[in-house]
Structure 1
């Protein structure tokens, strides 16, 4: 688009006056055809309104670059109703400005045609009314998904895992609302099939979906399989791998180099334990290496005390100190 065109002169002047360069202006015209012949007065009015609801002026150019269409929308017809509705969902007024900054396209959707049906859809799935705002503010892109063509497919997939009791799917969505953005055929189903292939039961998958839905969202070939292969190379058999994954699913998505490998090395070389001990306590991989494992190992060695991994790790610092008579001396 020729930014020097007389037809676009007024709105181009508006942009230049707010610090946009010609490249940005050109990109916005290319992204939003409605800017052609857009009214300077409306753009100024919308810009000022966005400032008035708490969006910092230094962040406004970024917001408009993401969604230039918001400067062409009717203030009272589109922007104000959506902001008012979002305000009723927010815990704090500042959340509205934050969610718009994060995903300005939310303002281009209709309250009646998109937002209200979406909220009703999630309520039916068991998301409490008081938590609807949390769900939307965590992943505002939800408003851009089709209920019929996209969201219903995800719900059907989760139900196929056995999450058909009242409220269970709602719990999954609150735990990880980003799961709704993935493809069932390209990501979620292949992941669930891989997890079944390594020995996880339907009940294991249900527990994973409710407590660690992020594992279901990861790519099999790039993340899950390499982690599974690494675990096996450490000496764990197939059944033990299934037990580890079922007991602590994030073991499949943690960094091999920065998380799994250092912990296995510490377990064997420093703690002098057999790797099979973690099969009885998969949560071993959840604990911080320096803040929990190294510290407690050092204290136990100082007292010359032996114990299981569960006894060592499954309690807070005070209970740990009391149990082994450490008198709360943690260094």
Structure 2
């Protein structure tokens, strides 16, 4: 063998490509390799020996092996994720099947996170049943099934119970506002309660407010609630009246100023009721804001004019009896006009005058009217005189019968006057016998003056004392029968609130 042949072979090839060659073939050349090349290539030799010692399989063999075993070659476990998805679908199908079996339609629950097992869903349904909610209630708001009993329902119910919401009220509470079960006590409910307390609603009245209007728990503090209160204060509602007003009619907190409250106020102003008078009406009867402007108030005003009420008197009618704007007025007016016409032969104009002087007559029961008319006739008045008295003072049809009898007995027995004087001044029956009629009559009799009933009674106590200083009676001072004065609504208020909430409650009622 020639040494020159060795030098033509690359060093790396000797170690890598020709490893399997017989050692006898290269025994002589290896002896001539320098120690430098031995050290340099020793690492490569060890690496190749290590790789060669490992078991090796081709790609085709590996694929055939995995195919036989039914396993995927993916490193990310795609089959495992698919199995999990299929399992979730199967579990949801079983939950839906359970809900359908008890009458609950799960169509609206798609996309909502639900319990993975039927047992957990059954627990939720059973818990809702213990609160008094029926399958129909759940179908009205099926999203309640997405609330966890422990994480959502129990914390909310515990909080409502601590506030004082009664157990007997909770079922209706949840029927009206089931969304409360989704709420966070700290983030959603507690801030609203704090705001209500800041409007001077008494702590004991907070549960009453929530029971009457549970939807308030869903409003944002910087939205409708604050603007409605601010507007009412701006038109003249006393700030100290807000708490009682909201306690009696908390629905105001959900009314939009631009759509509900402001149009109502402006319409009453257009009828001739001053803004401050409107504010006073709202203080005393906040539920007026709940009457629909377009479908109740305006149609009722039109009906009043059709039944003989003069347009100039509409403001007085509403100020005296604000509830008239929200009644089923068409039915009442037709019925009452027909009845009174048959009883005392009223004309359309007469009926209009009755409403102007006492608008409550549209709601007066026929039994009371007949009873009072019969009393007047028993006193000796003719049907024509009764008609004149009723038109002149329709309050006669609603007065306390015992008071009327006492006044009439005193009129006949002590005053000795003619019945015609009562026909001319039927309002005599509306004055208190001991507080007004008797003392004034005695003073006039003592002085020897002769006067009409109107001069005697139709004035204030201060004015009457001034009259008693006269030597003669000035007929020019004789006043017309008193009518409603709009200014009485705008008089300075006393220190006591007209809006204090007072409602008898069953002290034995169980709380949450």
* TM-score where L is the length of structure 2: 0.56
Shift of residue 321, structure 1, vs aligned partner? 5.1
Q: Is the aligned partner of 1:231 residue 2:348?
A: no
Question: SS where residue 236 of structure 1 aligns?
Answer: coil
Q: Is the aligned partner of 1:292 residue 2:409?
A: no
Q: Which residue number corresponds to residue 310 of structure 1?
A: 427
Q: Which residue number corresponds to residue 222 of structure 1?
A: 331
Q: Which residue number corresponds to residue 95 of structure 1?
A: 205
Q: Which residue number corresponds to residue 93 of structure 2?
A: none
Q: Which residue number corresponds to residue 154 of structure 2?
A: 44
The structure showing larger relative contact order (alpha-carbon pairs under 8 Å, at least 6 residues apart) is 2
Q: Deviations over 1:125-178 (max 9, x none)?
A: 322222222332222223333333333432332232123x33232223223322
| Mapped contact 2:317–2:355 kept (Cα < 8 A) | no
Q: In structure 2, what is the Cα distance between the partners aligned to 1:178 and 1:123? A: 17
CA RMSD of aligned residues (A): 2.9
| Mapped contact 1:204–1:246 kept (Cα < 8 A) | yes
Q: Which residue number corresponds to residue 61 of structure 1?
A: 171
Q: Is the aligned partner of 1:113 residue 2:223?
A: yes
Q: Which residue number corresponds to residue 476 of structure 2?
A: none
| Mapped contact 1:172–1:211 kept (Cα < 8 A) | no
Q: Where in structure 2 are there 5+ consecutive unaligned residues?
A: 1-95, 105-117, 443-512
Question: SS where residue 168 of structure 2 aligns?
Answer: coil
Q: In structure 2, what is the Cα distance between the partners aligned to 1:316 and 1:123? A: 42
| Mapped contact 2:264–2:293 kept (Cα < 8 A) | yes
* Count of aligned pairs: 318
Question: SS where residue 167 of structure 2 aligns?
Answer: coil
Shift of residue 251, structure 1, vs aligned partner? 0.9
Q: In structure 2, what is the Cα distance between the partners aligned to 1:174 and 1:193? A: 26
Q: Which residue number corresponds to residue 245 of structure 2?
A: 135
Shift of residue 47, structure 1, vs aligned partner? 0.9
CA 1:317 to 1:30, structure 2 compared with 1: closer, same or farther past 3 Å? farther
CA 1:212 to 1:72, structure 2 compared with 1: closer, same or farther past 3 Å? same
Q: Which residue number corresponds to residue 150 of structure 1?
A: 260
Q: Deviations over 1:58-91 (max 9, x none)?
A: 3333322332222221212222122222223345
Q: How does 1:274-293 map to 2 (within 5 A)?
A: 274-275=385-386, 276-289=388-401, 291-293=402-404
* TM-score where L is the length of structure 1: 0.83
| Mapped contact 1:271–1:297 kept (Cα < 8 A) | no
Q: In structure 1, what is the Cα distance between the partners aligned to 2:216 and 2:380? A: 52
Shift of residue 295, structure 1, vs aligned partner? 4.7
CA 1:316 to 1:8, structure 2 compared with 1: closer, same or farther past 3 Å? farther
Equivalent residue for 2:369, pick from 253, 257, 260? 260
| Mapped contact 1:28–1:68 kept (Cα < 8 A) | no
Question: SS where residue 146 of structure 2 aligns?
Answer: coil
Larger radius of gyration: 2
Q: Deviations over 1:246-277 (max 9, x none)?
A: 1111112222x233232223222346362212
Q: Which residue number corresponds to residue 10 of structure 2?
A: none
Q: Deviations over 1:220-252 (max 9, x none)?
A: 321123213323332223333222211111112
Q: Is the aligned partner of 1:180 residue 2:292?
A: no
Question: SS where residue 167 of structure 1 aligns?
Answer: helix
Q: In structure 1, what is the Cα distance between the partners aligned to 2:168 and 2:293? A: 39
